[in-house]
RNA sequence: GCACCGUUCGUCUAGGGGUUAGGACGUAUCCCUUUCACGGAUAAAACACGGGUUCGAUUCCCGUACGGUGUACCA
């Protein structure tokens, strides 16, 4: 139980795009696997045929790849414990359910969903909670209350049935959660959960336990929403006689809404204008699309870093971690117990940090991609220069273009406030003289050379640079802020500079 | 309702029987910068409440409050 090789699994349901909380769960699994030299497994839990969404599986795979979470075993990578899709393991579950039936740990139940619903309603009116448990089961239609031959008859005639776990009446269930410590639950509070549904598919509980056992999973790391059903799973391991090799549990704190009152949801993202999915998702059924962190301009390294520190911390004051550093530092012991409100500001900060740390060439690559999307053309050399100039003033990749548009196109409008404050007749006169000077320019058009020339000119005219610079900036960029002015001139080039000055002087007189 | 889990600055968190309760994001101010950012500095900002235990509790125990999750033939 303790010294087994580490084998962890991330087990999503392909019911839609992978939620950011799911990404974090996958990440923690991955970090533990790599930290311990263990194995990272992805298992698709598609036992609910009614909720299958085409494209969701593929989305999960692409999301994990984008985040840099590598899988060792999965439906796509294969592995010694294949298949890794529960729908392809269907026959297996019936076999194990049968084992539980044989050992008296489970029973057939014939109550229809409608009957159960009616029962729940009736008891609710009497202010009693309905639980299909050790006391109620003797009043229901199942193989415990019906004569054996009738049970056989019903099954033979094809009547729908489910198989339920026969939860012991009074038993203490204790287990240790790696994050929360000892957890004790009385079996009387657990109901006789359905193990096999009437469509012949297992429920999560059965499939999960059977597969974790068969795949020799050592640690079950999953969201806190599973904590209440963990005792049931322990009971299942017990019923199967697998308690000695039961995986260790670690229930992760949840990602909460920024304003508190529940789990983070897609709605929160829409409401506050941020993504809750790694990649953009287009719902094939409704045609509706949801934004993704990638499309919003986040770097995967930044997202991973942000997510890792949401619920875990190394106990040091280090904030920036590469995946390698996360792997080295990670431990389940340092995962927090309480839920974390999702603060997109911190994600933005991380993104900014990662952009700043990127090489000019690398950033230029992203810039070229963005430009291409918008039908703008730029040389490689210029892209590197622009990347360097913009690096420290953007938060998102796409801002290279939106905030640096003037590098590629002359301004089409001028910021009114800056015009009012900074554009003067004197400045316009000086700029016109500067443009004239530029027309006869000889030699390299570098920031320092331009600066010297401009300062000399202003000195001749008896003017100070103070009032002229902002006007020149306005002519070049249309606004009052941005990278070093001389850099801008050099990057845009001599002729373009002349053109912009002349345009501005005409437009703003 | 019942079961389980949780509660340190607005947010993410460190810490832990005696601390000026530390860091980061965000906010504010200043410095740097003829702009904007980056960077640097400073500031405001927290132990949910009530009882114990103890010389001493934010830290341990018990309650309360609040929050979260679960309570499906969904995962």
The catalytic residues of A are: 266
CA of A466 to C1' of B68 (A): 58
- Confirm if A180 and A251 have CB atoms less than 8 A apart: yes
pLDDT at A257: 95
Q: Say which residues have a Cβ less than 8 Å from residue A138's Cβ, sequence separation at least 6.
A: A144, A145
Distance in Å from the first CA to the final CA of chain A: 82
* pLDDT tens digits along A456-484: 999 999 998 888 999 999 999 999 999 99
CA of A211 to C1' of B71 (A): 25
Q: Which nucleotide C1' is nearest A161 CA? A: B73
- Confirm if A474 and A423 have CB atoms less than 8 A apart: yes
- Does residue A385 register a pLDDT over 50? yes
Q: Which nucleotide C1' is nearest A488 CA? A: B35
Residues 364-383 of A with CB under 7 A from strand B: none
Distance CA A329, CA A353 (A): 20
**A162: helix, strand or coil:** strand
pLDDT at A164: 97
Please tell me the pTM assigned to this model.
0.95
For residue A307, the surrounding DSSP H or E stretch is helix A300-308
* ipTM, two decimals: 0.95
Confidence of residue A2 (pLDDT cuts 50, 70, 90): low
CA of A327 to C1' of B22 (A): 25
Question: What are the φ and ψ backbone dihedral angles of A9, each rounded to 5 degrees?
Answer: -135, 145
CB half-sphere exposure, A461, CA atoms < 13 A: 20
Distance CA A5, CA A33 (A): 10
Q: Say which residues have a Cβ less than 8 Å from residue A420's Cβ, sequence separation at least 6.
A: none
- Confirm if A142 and A111 have CB atoms less than 8 A apart: yes
For residue A345, the surrounding DSSP H or E stretch is helix A344-357
Secondary structure of A455-503 in HEC code, one letter for each residue: HHHHHHHCCCHHHHHHHHHHHHHCCCCCCCHHHHHHHHCHHHHHHHHHH
Q: Which nucleotide C1' is nearest A114 CA? A: B73
* pLDDT tens digits along A150-176: 999 999 999 999 999 999 988 999 999
CA of A17 to C1' of B20 (A): 49
A302 touches strand B (CB under 7 A): no
Distance CA A21, CA A11 (A): 13
Distance CA A299, CA A68 (A): 11
Residues 114-133 of A with CB under 7 A from strand B: 116, 120, 129-132
Question: What are the φ and ψ backbone dihedral angles of A65, each rounded to 5 degrees?
Answer: -60, -45
């Amino acid at each position: 139980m303790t010294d087994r090789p580490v084998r962890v699994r991330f087990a999503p349901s392909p019911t839609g795009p992978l939620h950011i909380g799911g990404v974090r769960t996958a990440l923690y699994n991955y970090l533990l696997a790599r930290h311990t030299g263990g194995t990272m497994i992805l298992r698709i839990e598609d036992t609910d045929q009614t909720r299958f969404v085409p494209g969701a599986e593929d989305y999960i795979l692409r999301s994990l790849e984008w985040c840099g979470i590598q899988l060792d075993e999965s439906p796509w990578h294969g592995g010694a414990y294949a298949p890794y899709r529960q729908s392809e393991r269907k026959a297996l579950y019936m076999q194990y359910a049968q084992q539980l039936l044989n050992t008296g740990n489970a029973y057939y139940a014939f109550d229809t969903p409608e009957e159960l619903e009616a029962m729940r309603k009736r008891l609710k009116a009497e202010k009693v909670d309905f639980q299909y448990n050790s006391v109620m089961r003797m009043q229901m239609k199942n193989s415990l209350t019906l004569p054996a031959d009738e049970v056989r008859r019903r099954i033979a005639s094809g009547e729908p049935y489910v198989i339920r776990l026969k939860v012991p009446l009074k038993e203490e269930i204790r287990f240790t959660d790696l994050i929360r410590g000892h957890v004790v639950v009385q079996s009387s509070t657990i109901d006789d959960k359905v193990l096999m549904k009437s469509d012949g598919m297992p429920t999560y509980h059965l499939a999960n336990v059977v597969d974790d056992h068969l795949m020799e999973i050592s640690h079950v790391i999953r969201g806190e929403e599973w904590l209440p059903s963990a005792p049931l799973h322990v009971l299942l391991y017990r019923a199967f006689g697998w308690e000695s090799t039961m995986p260790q549990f670690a229930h992760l704190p949840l990602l909460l809404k920024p304003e508190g009152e529940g789990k983070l949801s897609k709605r929160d993202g829409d409401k506050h204008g941020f993504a809750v999915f790694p990649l953009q998702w287009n719902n094939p059924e409704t045609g509706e699309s949801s934004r993704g962190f990638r499309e919003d301009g986040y770097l995967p390294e930044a997202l991973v870093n942000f997510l890792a520190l949401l619920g875990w911390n190394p106990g040091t004051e280090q904030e920036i971690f590469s995946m390698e550093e996360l792997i080295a530092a990670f431990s389940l012991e340092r995962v927090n117990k309480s839920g974390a409100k999702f603060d997109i500001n911190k994600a933005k900060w991380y993104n900014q940090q990662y952009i700043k740390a990127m090489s000019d060439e690398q950033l230029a690559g992203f810039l070229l991609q963005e430009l291409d999307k918008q039908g703008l053309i730029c040389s490689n050399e210029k892209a590197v220069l622009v990347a360097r100039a913009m690096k420290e003033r953007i938060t998102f990749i796409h801002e290279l273009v939106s905030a640096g548009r003037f590098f590629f196109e002359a301004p089409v409008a001028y910021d009114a406030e800056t015009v009012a404050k900074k554009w003067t007749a004197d400045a316009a006169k000086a700029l016109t003289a500067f443009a004239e000077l530029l027309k006869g320019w000889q030699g390299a058009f570098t920031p320092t050379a331009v600066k010297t020339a401009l300062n000399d000119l202003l000195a001749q005219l008896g003017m100070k640079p103070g009032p002229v610079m902002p006007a020149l900036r306005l002519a070049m960029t249309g606004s009052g802020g941005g990278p070093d002015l001389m850099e801008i001139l050099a990057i845009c080039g001599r002729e373009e500079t002349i053109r912009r000055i002349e345009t501005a002087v005409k437009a703003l007189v």
